[in-house]
Structure 1
Amino acid sequence: MKKFNKVIKELIQFRDERDWKQFHDSKNLALAISIEAAELNEIFLWKTGDEVENINKDRLKEELSDILSYAFLLAEKHNLDVFDIISEKIQKNALKYPVDKAKGTAKKYNEL
């Protein structure tokens, strides 16, 4: 938790030193996440088999960092605890995807 709080403080400091908070409304943060996710997808585009698992780790780190940074800033903006909301989602998904029905299949919950 200390590392997470440190990262959030660093993100906010970085943003505030550049006076970028004015641009970080919910819509723009959500759009930034989507755009960065598309850039992550681009790393895997047209790759097959082993190529997918052997992608450039530096590019992967860059794009994941961008996505996570914007997601953390959006959560912080709305006073959401990232760990709590992930835990809540895991609990919801456990109900949607019970082990006895979902184990070993990629089917959506309404197809099980």
Structure 2
Amino acid sequence: MTTEWHEFLAKEIDYLKRVGSGEVQIYLYDREKSRIIEMLGTPDQNTQRTITYIPGTFTSLKSFYNLEVRQVSRYITRLDPHTVAFVYKDGLFPGKTSERVGMT
């Protein structure tokens, strides 16, 4: 295994620890299929809106681990506490056959 792969795994572990602590909320997580849905906000009887945000073409699981893809959704849910946002990635993007660092 490469140093890059070890760094990727360390970021994944750190991310999942944040999930375990409640700092990050995920609705779905499947690394093998490159699927993840992160939820921002608190769904309850006062929720008035939901937003689904699908990040751009070059988004990877690492983008989630670094919390890069949640900035817009975080801003909206903080601005309006009656909104819940889902940041969504469902599978590999075209041209990719793996999420593994250094592999296509």
Compute the TM-score of the two structures, normalised by the length of structure 1. Answer: 0.27
Which structure has more RCO (C-alpha within 8 Å, separation ≥ 6)?
Answer: 2
Compute the TM-score of the two structures, normalised by the length of structure 2. Answer: 0.29
Task: Say which one has the larger Rg.
Answer: 1
- Whichever structure has more helix as a proportion of its residues is 1
